[in-house]
Chains A and B, each alone.
Chain A
Amino acid sequence: MAKTEIVKLDIDQTPLREIKKTTLGTGLIKGLGITMRHLLSRSVTIQYPDEKDVLPARSRGVIALKEENCTVCMLCARECPDWCIYIEGHKESRQPAQEGKRAKKYNVLDRFAIDYALCMYCGICVEVCPYDALFWTPEYEYAEHDITHLTHEMDRLSDWMYTVLPPDELDPAATGPEFKTLPQRTAPAVAPAPAADGEQPTAAGEVAAPKNDQGEPSAPAAAPEQEAKVTEEAAVAIDTDVATGEAAPQEEAPEPEKEAPTPSEPQAEATAVSEEEAEEIGRKVYEEEIGKGSDPRVAEGRRKAAVLRARKGTRGPGG
């Protein structure tokens, strides 16, 4: 017979008796209060065909193909868990530049198709593409009455390219990608170079090396601090070099680290234009496209991409 034990339950140090102490019916009243509050708050519905949500640049709507980047390496088709990518290509050879040299071989893409009836939008193909030929775009309106029409051939996949948005700017609060410090491999190489001159630089190099050894396996969160320390250390090393009249060696290890903590910079240099100017540019592009006799959808896509490019002042992956 198991002996029943009364265990006093403590939830965040609050005795259970206090938690249970409620008057009969307060739960019912509280429930009514909650539903009333929700009744009076704003609805979140978006009336879809009439109004559309603005999707973020990284939305997984449809996959676009940048045809000229594709090398027919077949990695996407092989990695695709659903086998929904069709690639066909053939080899061609270019005349050798000089007589007697071997002809240059290259692949030509004949067919690239994605069957969206099979695709499960895992994005492995986009991830795996080594030449940035596949992109996600936020477009999602490509439903069809006939399932066979869901197989998008090269022309349609390329058209989607005009709806690819430039990637979002990095979060200014983010720490940025981590770069491992690799100086201990070069540090010994640095040390012997000025060794002929005297003891001091060698000592500096030796002092720097153990520090870096500690820095490398440290936890990711601590990494930026560690990096800063290493940079300081390196600066000291350079100073000592200068003091002894020796030029700092070219392969001075910590040099690239100085740039490492500022990965969000590249966007800033681009010049953004005003809203009206962007719209104007978009309109021009659209008219140009229509004048060329393009499909209105393609023209609309190019217009959108142009406006976005102009607005962000960046060159999107499409352009």
Chain B
Amino acid sequence: MFDLKNVTKLFGPLAVLDDVTLEIATGRTTVLLGPSGCGKSTLLRMLLGLVQPDAGQVRFAGTNVSGNTSRELRSKMGYVVQDGGLFPHFTCSQNVTLMASHRDWTPERIATRLDELTRLARLSPETLGRYPVETSGGQRQRVGLMRALMLDPEALLLDEPLGALDPITRADLQKDLKAAFQSLKKTVVLVTHDLAEAAHFADTVVLLEKGQIIQQGALRDLVRQPASPFVTQFVDSQRGPWEALREAIA
């Protein structure tokens, strides 16, 4: 679905992405994993054409993603950012249906689609009438997902979708997101720094550090056959609360 060849992006003298070549498979969930500043968000935004590479090529379904062509391409991609990125002056349902109205869908078609998505995102209908400030973080994220899926895109791109949530909300949403991904069978690219999240969602994990891909494949392989000491270090640093708890009790 996505095809990156020798992509480099410079911010000043610093290479945020350094000669990255990557293929993202259709219909599967790929997780871009790495510590903050590793270039994973830039890579995701580059897939959408929000960031242009300084060198190399990004292709989506065989078409070059560039400033001019990407607006049409973007309707084939859905994008969800941390905290939903909802427009504060629109209600939740206006946020979801914005592009459909802009493209002159009929009210019936909009209503039907909205209904489908409300069930998929497991959102209560009364929440849809509220403004974003009147909703919780988890609800905003669900609305963000609905907005991204409104035009039925081929790919769904999510940037730290669970980043700003408390643990309980997070666990709920994580479960519902996974169910949605499985029922939709779309190409999903998800960015996170959280190993457990990657384990939950990923068919394929791409581990980045300092703008370069360190290792990619199933998570199991990363843990069992680390390509470099950094992989081990990254995995060990996220052994999670159970280990910490066990040590504290012992």
User: Are A and B interaction partners?
Assistant: no
